[in-house]
Amino acid sequence: MKKIITMLLLAFCLLSFNIANAQKNGGANGEWTISSISLEDNSMKDSLQNVPVFEDADINCLLNSTWDLSSGQGFYKISQESDCTKGMRQINWMRFSIKGSDFFQFYRTSAVHGVTADQHSIYICEISGAGKENFTLRYPILFAGKTNAILFNFTHK
């Protein structure tokens, strides 16, 4: 299921991506925290609690994770005190625009044991509500035959 979503997003990116519009995001540089996570359609909230996001960690593990976004490189770090795979994941990232919408794309370049770091596993989220102190990433998903989106709300540290 996750691979299908990743492949669909990659196909979308390859078909629609205009390299001339690609730009590194100077406005999002710095350290951020995922302050809340929600679903557009909350009817599936309980069934998604133990499903890995970004082929990495459960939704609850990503809550309060720290993201350092510096000039196209950075990391995110999970430090929850439960069954989460703690540690730092190095990433390369970029921000780009397609037809008036802004997107955040990243892939892991290194990760903790048990989490893949593969430049061919690209994750693309739509950016909304971007400001100096917060922004939201919308990550579309297909789960149990239904479309939905995970909303990651980031707050500047």
Confidence of residue 91 (pLDDT cuts 50, 70, 90): very high
Confidence of residue 31 (pLDDT cuts 50, 70, 90): very high
| All structural domains of the chain | 2-156 (2.40.128.280)
Find tokens 């795979």 and name the residue.
85
pLDDT at 26: 42
Confidence of residue 154 (pLDDT cuts 50, 70, 90): very high
Longest dimension (CA), the chain: 43
Beta-carbon neighbour count of residue 152 at 10 Å? 24
Q: Which residues of 77-101 are buried (b: 16+ CB within 10 A; e: fewer)?
A: ebebeeebbeeebebebebbeeeee
Q: Return the closest-CA partner of residue 47 out of 55, 39, 36.
A: 39
pLDDT digits (tens, 9 = 90+) for 106-133: 999 998 888 888 888 999 999 998 888 9
Structure tokens belonging to residue 10: 């990659």
144 pLDDT higher than 70: yes
- Asked if 75 and 90 touch (Cβ cutoff 8 Å), the reply is yes
Q: Return the closest-CA partner of residue 110 out of 81, 61, 77, 156.
A: 77
Please report the DSSP string for 82-118 in residue order.
Answer: SSS--EEEEEEEEEEEETTEEEEEEEEEE-STTS---
pLDDT at 45: 66
DSSP-based three-state secondary structure for 61: helix
Mean pLDDT of 78-94: 88
